[in-house]
Amino acid sequence: MKAGAVAAPFAVLWDMDGVLVDSAPYHQRAWRETLAEEGVLLDEASFRHTFGRRNDAIIAYVLGTEVSPERASSIGEAKERRYRALIAQEGIAPLPGVMEWLGRLHNRGIPQAIVSSAPLANVSAVLQALGLAHLFRSIVSAEDVRYGKPDPEGFLLAARRLGMPPQRCLVVEDAPAGVEGARQAGMHCLALSTTHPPEALATADLIVASLDHLPPDTFARLEPATGEG
């Protein structure tokens, strides 16, 4: 913690896709349009099966494992450029309750960070579209870690950047891999069943359908648990 900084009782680490925004439609369109230029039709089932996986794994699934790393990288980069262009052109809406909770925690002086498996450029594009960048003290993106979720590396890095012990961090996630990563990091986890059924998130400390379903004192009630240690 920097000299002169006021100690906060806990920190909140947010996933982005499926937590702050519903980006799946934008990713689907970007993949569909990019792969169409490769002469491949991406159907709904293939997109749902591969959504959330690394680009190289998606390309191998759709185009086959014989695709060279260079071509896979080029296709992946083209898809991400198209995704960011869609966000910039059309904007993207926050999920229900996001703006209220981010603002409420910020006003309390609670440090907040994003821990996302997305490239930094994608995170920045979403935050710019939402006008929320000033609310986060740190962003951990795909480029910052060697291992993705469920490995806890990203969560632990965010905690270090915020100067907060892991046991005083609360993770907000929507995916089983993220929930498991939070558990491995020794952090508490609030899970949103926006992209996965509640039973797939069963190891989280609290599971809700949406942030706007939370009582106003939810984080205050979680604070004693996250504030210990």
pLDDT, tens digit only, all 229 positions of the chain: 454 445 788 999 999 999 999 999 999 999 999 999 999 999 988 888 887 777 888 899 999 999 999 999 999 999 999 999 999 999 999 999 999 999 999 999 999 999 998 899 999 999 999 999 999 999 999 899 988 889 999 999 999 999 999 999 999 999 899 999 999 999 999 999 998 899 999 999 999 999 998 887 777 666 645 444 3
CATH of the domain at 156: 3.40.50.1000
We report the CATH number of the domain holding residue 76 as 1.10.150.240
Q: How far apart are CA 182 and CA 204, in angstroms?
A: 9
Question: Which of 93, 75, 77, 74 minimizes the C-alpha distance to 26?
Answer: 93
β-partners of residue 173 are 191
Residue 157 has a CB neighbour count (10 Å cut-off) of 17
Residues 148 and 222 in one domain: yes
Position 6 scores a pLDDT of 54
Residues 106 and 178 grouped into a single domain:
yes
Residue-by-residue DSSP string for the chain: --TTPPPPS-EEEE--BTTTB--HHHHHHHHHHHHHTTT----HHHHHHHTTS-HHHHHHHHH-TTS-HHHHHHHHHHHHHHHHHHHHHH--PBPTTHHHHHHHHHHTT--EEEE-SS-HHHHHHHHHHHT-GGG-SEEE-GGG-SS-TTSTHHHHHHHHHHT--GGGEEEEESSHHHHHHHHHTT-EEEEETTSS-GGGGTTSSEEES-GGGS-TTHHHHHHHHHH--
Please indicate, yes or no, whether residues 177 and 223 belong to a single structural domain of this protein: yes
Closest to 190 (Cα-Cα) out of 178, 163, 48: 178
User: Which residue in 15, 22, 205, 212 is the catalytic one?
Assistant: 15
- Choosing from 50, 72, 90, the residue where a domain stops is 90
Same-domain status, 106 and 151: yes
Task: Indicate the number of domains in the chain.
Answer: 2
Spatial contact of 40 and 62, defined as CB atoms under 8 Å apart = yes
Q: Is 212 an active-site residue? A: no
d(CA 178, CA 55) in angstroms, rounded, equals: 18
> Annotated catalytic residue: which of 17, 22, 151, 212?
17
Same domain, 77 and 98: no
Are 186 and 151 within one domain? Answer: yes
> Per the domain annotation, does 215 fall within a domain?
yes
In a domain, 110, yes or no: yes
CA distance 172 to 190: 5
**38/77 Cα distance (integer angstroms):** 14
Residues 81 and 170 in one domain: no
pLDDT at 117: 87
| Domain end (from 90, 111, 138) | 90
User: In this structure, are 168 and 186 located in the same domain?
Assistant: yes
Contact of 126 with 20, CB cutoff 8 Å: yes
Looking at the structure, tell me whether residues 184 and 114 fall in a common domain.
Answer: yes
State whether 65 and 105 are in the same domain.
Answer: no
Which domain covers residue 221, as residue numbers? Answer: 11-22+93-227
Together in a domain, 129 and 184: yes
Question: For residue 5, is it within any domain?
Answer: no
Q: Does the annotation mark 15 as catalytic?
A: yes
Q: Does residue 56 fall inside a structural domain?
A: yes
